[in-house]
Amino acid sequence: MTSSDSTTLTAVERKALRTEQAAAQRAQQLRISKSRAEAEGRSQVIPTAEGWKQEMGADGRPELQFSTKRRVSQPPKHLADLTLAERQAELKALGLPAFRAKQLSTHYFQHYTTDPEKMSDLPKERREELVQAMFPKLLTEVKRLETDDGKTIKFLWRLFDGSLVESVLMRYPNRITLCISSQCGCGMNCPFCATGQAGLTRNMSTAEILDQIVQANRVIAEGGLGGQKHPDERVGNIVFMGMGEPLANYKRVMNAVHRMVAEAPEGLGMSARGITVSTVGLVPAIRKLADENVPVTFALSLHAPDDELRDELIPVNSRWKVDEALDAAYDYYVKTGRRVSIEYALIKDMNDHEWRAEMLAKKLNARGRGWVHVNPIPLNPVPGSIWTRSESDITSKFVRRLDELGVPTTLRDTRGKEIDGACGQLAADGDK
């Protein structure tokens, strides 16, 4: 096909042409990677989705979904969607004094209960009605899988519209971490991640995001998480590393973060530094996050330091390139003073070459020292994928090389592989 034909092409033909051009560009880019790998006696595996088909967009590249294709409805309004002032206004409209808002908030955020029977400080004849108005049921537990002697639990939740999401609760020697979801599915289409395979269904509401924490706290208080030390333990660390791209659901995620850090009884009274927001690299949203004045911990899922490979691994790299994402991450550090982390899933013969460790170190050091640390994650198996994690000697070499070049690096201890609860394995198909 020549370009002069393109005026007479049908839409289908135009798409085919763009796909062809994208494939040619991809082949050219991968030739570069291949020759570099060969120079260190290694091979270069080419990223392709195995066992499932990546949806392709009109540009011939993997489709990116920033919003849902169909109009979807959100769950009914819940107390946790509202600020304390909004709760007070809501109760006033129901003919109740403002102080009832604090009582209801305490039941929910501090006692983790929505059971009218337990709300003895509220007028008996109105409890039922209040609970219905303020606490519609958001998360219904469908399944609970445990591993590590009960110290890791994966929850599968059904939402009001039948959507399924997961969260993973993990006890460490001196902290309890909850990995939460922010969207039903994900529109970022990364070929190595199970969540993206089904696309984006919808954004989760603020209260749905928060209810994952309240439910986990209730389980902990009831002694349901292995290794209990005392009954008033609770989740101290939140990582937005469950299903979804948190920065693609910016407003609701930020509202949830505000409520996590708000003093009780308005919120959970958690520390912002215990909250990690992980993103695939939505640069404008990273910049907005830096201006929020809530110093959460920021993590960037980089996975490759070169655009040649990152274009293939992280489809959103077609919008914001490696250097733009790193600049935004560095500016986050400058604005907030919080050291950022770079996540790097190590995939055998794909992104684990020494030259990539060197290029990564060079790009990070070029922006300064002490602002960043790297968190390599050995790839977790995803159904239908033939990709495998890096060999352990290659992993060590990669970590060592970064360390030698002055970049603090810690290998992530992934929990929950046995229950498909580890990074990238959350798919909520309900069959496991």
Q: What are phi and psi of 238, to 5 degrees?
A: -120, 135
164 pairs with which residues across the strands?
158
Eight-class DSSP state of 204: P
What's the token pair of residue 142? 């469908």
Instruction: List the one residue from 279, 297, 336, 390 that touches ligand SAH (CB under 6 A).
Output: 279
- What is the C-alpha to C-alpha distance for residues 320 and 312, in angstroms, rounded to an integer? 13
- Say which of 90, 146, 166, 208 is annotated catalytic: 166
- What is the C-alpha to C-alpha distance for residues 59 and 74, in angstroms, rounded to an integer? 31
Instruction: List the one residue from 208, 306, 343, 420 that touches ligand SAH (CB under 6 A).
Output: 343
Contact between 139 and ligand SAH (CB under 6 A)? no
Q: Can you tell me which residue has the tokens 């060969």?
A: 38
Contact between 170 and ligand SAH (CB under 6 A)? no
411: number of Cβ within 10 Å? 16
Q: What are phi and psi of 43, to 5 degrees?
A: -110, 170
- Do 364 and 381 form a contact (C-beta atoms < 8 A)? no
Nearest residue by C-beta to ligand SAH? 424
Taking the complex as a whole, how short is the minimal distance between the CB of residue 210 and ligand SAH, in angstroms?
18
Whose Cβ is closer to ligand SAH: residue 146's or residue 343's? Answer: 343
Could you tell me which residues come within 8 angstroms of residue 424 by beta carbon, excluding any fewer than 6 positions away?
A: 192, 193, 194, 195, 345, 379, 380, 382
Whose Cβ is closer to ligand SAH: residue 134's or residue 382's? Answer: 382
Instruction: List the one residue from 382, 399, 419, 427 that touches ligand SAH (CB under 6 A).
Output: 382
Core vs surface per residue 347-384: b (16+ CB within 10 A) or e: bbbbbbbbbbbebbbebbeebeeebbebbbbbbbbbee
Whose Cβ is closer to ligand SAH: residue 268's or residue 377's? Answer: 377
Instruction: List the one residue from 163, 189, 217, 278 that touches ligand SAH (CB under 6 A).
Output: 278
Eight-class DSSP state of 409: B
Taking the complex as a whole, how short is the minimal distance between the CB of residue 253 and ligand SAH, in angstroms?
11
Distance of CA 117 to the CA centre of its chain: 36
Contact between 280 and ligand SAH (CB under 6 A)? yes
Instruction: List the one residue from 377, 399, 402, 419 that touches ligand SAH (CB under 6 A).
Output: 377
Contact between 245 and ligand SAH (CB under 6 A)? yes
Residue ranges in 38-97 that form contacts with ligand SAH under rule CB under 6 A: none
Instruction: List the one residue from 254, 424, 427, 428 that touches ligand SAH (CB under 6 A).
Output: 424
Instruction: List the one residue from 88, 380, 390, 409 that touches ligand SAH (CB under 6 A).
Output: 380
Core vs surface per residue 9-32: b (16+ CB within 10 A) or e: eeeeeebebbbeebeeebeebbee
Decide if 166 is catalytic. Answer: yes
Residue ranges in 291-310 that form contacts with ligand SAH under rule CB under 6 A: 301
Ordered DSSP codes for 153-172? EEEEEE-TTS-EEEEEEEEE
Query: Could you tell me which of 158, 193, 173 has the C-alpha nearest to residue 379?
Result: 193
Binding region for ligand SAH (CB under 6 A) out of 2-10, 49-57, 158-166, 275-283: 275-283
Contact between 193 and ligand SAH (CB under 6 A)? yes
- What is the C-alpha to C-alpha distance for residues 380 and 420, in angstroms, rounded to an integer? 9
- Say which of 184, 186, 190, 423 is annotated catalytic: 423
Taking the complex as a whole, how short is the minimal distance between the CB of residue 371 and ligand SAH, in angstroms?
19
- Do 232 and 187 form a contact (C-beta atoms < 8 A)? no
User: How many residues contact ligand SAH, by CB under 6 A?
Assistant: 16
Most distant CA pair in the chain: distance in Å?
78
Whose Cβ is closer to ligand SAH: residue 206's or residue 380's? Answer: 380
Contact between 241 and ligand SAH (CB under 6 A)? yes
Whose Cβ is closer to ligand SAH: residue 189's or residue 206's? Answer: 189
Decide if 193 is catalytic. Answer: no
Contact between 372 and ligand SAH (CB under 6 A)? no
Taking the complex as a whole, how short is the minimal distance between the CB of residue 79 and ligand SAH, in angstroms?
27
Residues in the chain, overall count: 432
- What is the C-alpha to C-alpha distance for residues 61 and 295, in angstroms, rounded to an integer? 35
Contact between 351 and ligand SAH (CB under 6 A)? no
Pairing of strands 152-158, 140-147: antiparallel
Contact between 423 and ligand SAH (CB under 6 A)? yes
The residues annotated as belonging to the active site are 166, 423
List residues binding ligand SAH (CB under 6 A).
192-193, 241, 245, 278-280, 301, 343, 345, 377, 379-380, 382, 423-424
